[in-house]
Structure 1
Amino acid sequence: MCRWLAYTGSPVVLTAVLYTPVHSLIDQSLHAKLGAETTNGDGFGIGWYDERPTPGVFRSTEPAWNDANLREVASHVASPLFFAHVRAAIGSAVQQTNCHPFRHDRRLWMHNGFIDGYARVKRELAMAVDPALYPQIAGQTDSEILFYLALTFGLETDPVGAVARAVGLVEATGRAHGVAFPFQGTIATSDGASLWAFRYSSEGRTRSMFLTRDIPTLREMYPDREILHAASDDARMVVSEPIGDLPGAWLEVPESTVAVVSRGREELRPFTPTGANTR
């Protein structure tokens, strides 16, 4: 599996989130505690929003803990909303096009998990992608196919509904091929203004996902922590596993839930896959 992090709030330099905290995402690339693997060294990626029309993306097949270019870029980029992902490959090649996050126009996407039985179902899933979008698929992963299925089903206008239809198609196709539990994963996607984070698996035993408590509450809990006074009230993070050393700072997102974070507010909603009309 992989580890990922999504931040939204006032602009911060990426280093402050990716490297500085105890058990940071970079530390998790070597020493993950809650993942299926301890080491996530099969590449990394960051994606960030700024004043430009589309988000920036930097991806590499190098291990995140050992990449001087990542540290250099992260120390110079400040962003109000960014993604970061460290990869543990399952079945697909270690190559740049397979690293997360994936990008389409203003949309970023990353995933921790898998489509079970992917070799048996990938042709049918690929055929369900909008023909106008299909040529943009550059890699081999089930995560990227899932992204383009969600785009096909309306991700840009109805993120929750589109992901529900994409996962629903994965489950229906997998079960038709005898796969008991076709989908496993946590997903983050954004349009640069809001963040949607999904936790769902067909088996009901999904990889971990956590959301920070609101900053005013954390300041009351830890009045002496300068970093909390520097953070904006609307700052939020969603992560695969907690970073930092503040007990009680993280809330585990329940199974079968989507967290919607926008302008300093978060809402947890039940998430259930639905039927998808394919071409």
Structure 2
Amino acid sequence: MCRWAAYRGEPLFIEELVSSPAHSLIEQSVCATRAKTSTNADGFGIAWYGDRPEPGRFRDVLPAWSDCNLKSIARQIRSPLFLAHVRAATHGATRRDNCHPFVHGTWSFMHNGQIDHFDRLRRAMEGMLDDEYFNARTGSTDSELLFLLAMQFGMKQRPVAAMAEAVGFAERLSLELVGTARVRFTAAFSDGNTLYAVRYSTDAFAPTLYAGPMGTSGGHCLVSEPLTDDGDAWTEIPPGSAVMLNDKGLTVTVFQPQSKLDVAREASVGIAEMAG
């Protein structure tokens, strides 16, 4: 599973999450402690917001620990909002356009998790995209496709609801085509103003998500696992949650796509109506 870290607050050097802490994101790329896969060596990426509305982005296929450019860039770039990711590939080859974060317009997105049976769902999922979002797809991962589906479903106007629709659509499609569904989804996304995150899984094993204060001016970071050994500084976000971080602070609400039970009930009702 991948590892990621995101920050929003007063401008902060990216190295404060990526390379400086004792359990920095680069350290997690070598030895993650709260993931099924301890090594995340299939590329990395950062997306940051500055003076322009669109995020800057740097991605590569090297392991994060072996790329000197990443440490140099992280030391020099200071941003009020940025996303950083180290990848352990599940779907999609190890190539630059499969590395997170993904961007479209002012939006950025990164993900830890997977869609089971994605190879059987991919064509139908891509068929939901109009030309704008289909042509924006450059890689082959389930993560990028979920991001573009959320954009298709209206993420610009209602970010969390659109993401819930995208995840729910993947679950329903999997039930219809495969007979089972499992989506594991812990993600961060932003429009450059608000930082959002979601922790969710169809089963009981949602990838981890923690929140903690960063710096001395009220900033917060959201991470796959704590950056330090100070347990009191980190709050675990419970499964089935959506996080929103803006000028008003950090809020946590319920995240619940349409469940498998709801889909089964709908199917039963539909069959009953047809029989009637």
TM-score for the superposition, normalised by structure 2: 0.91
What is the rounded CA distance, in whole Å, between the counterparts of 1:247 and 1:267 in structure 2? 20
- Residue of structure 2 equivalent to 1:244: 228
Give the counterpart letter for 1:126 in structure 2: E
- Residue of structure 1 equivalent to 2:272: none
- Residue of structure 2 equivalent to 1:156: 156
1:117, 1:179 within 8 Å by CA — same for their partners in 2? no
What is the rounded CA distance, in whole Å, between the counterparts of 2:200 and 2:4 in structure 1? 16
- Residue of structure 2 equivalent to 1:120: 120
Name the structure with the higher helix share. Answer: 2
Give the length in aligned residue pairs: 260
What is the rounded CA distance, in whole Å, between the counterparts of 2:8 and 2:38 in structure 1? 27
- Residue of structure 1 equivalent to 2:244: 260
- Residue of structure 2 equivalent to 1:273: 257
- Residue of structure 2 equivalent to 1:170: 170
- Alignment of structure 1 residues 183-194 onto 2, 5 Å: 183-194=183-194
**Residues 7 and 179 (structure 1), Cα distance of their counterparts in 2 relative to 1, 3 Å cut:** farther
2:21, 2:228 within 8 Å by CA — same for their partners in 1? yes
Give the counterpart letter for 1:247 in structure 2: G
TM-score for the superposition, normalised by structure 1: 0.90
What is the rounded CA distance, in whole Å, between the counterparts of 2:192 and 2:102 in structure 1? 14
1:116, 1:179 within 8 Å by CA — same for their partners in 2? no
Q: Residue 172 of structure 2: SS of its match in structure 1?
A: helix
1:60-112: CA deviation from partner (whole Å, max 9, x where unpaired):
00000010111111111100000000000113200000000000111000000
What is the rounded CA distance, in whole Å, between the counterparts of 2:67 and 2:74 in structure 1? 11
1:31-79: CA deviation from partner (whole Å, max 9, x where unpaired):
0001111100000000000011211000000000010111111111100
| Structural RMSD (CA) | 1.5
What is the rounded CA distance, in whole Å, between the counterparts of 1:130 and 1:189 in structure 2? 21
Deviates more, 1:176-185 or 1:36-45: 176-185
Matched, 1:58 2:58: yes
Q: Residue 4 of structure 2: SS of its match in structure 1?
A: strand
- Residue of structure 2 equivalent to 1:20: 20
- Residue of structure 2 equivalent to 1:232: 217
- Residue of structure 2 equivalent to 1:222: none
Deviates more, 1:178-187 or 1:55-64: 178-187
Deviates more, 1:4-13 or 1:176-185: 176-185
1:190-223: CA deviation from partner (whole Å, max 9, x where unpaired):
01111110001111320111111x56xxxxxxxx
Give the counterpart letter for 1:193 in structure 2: N
- Residue of structure 1 equivalent to 2:94: 94
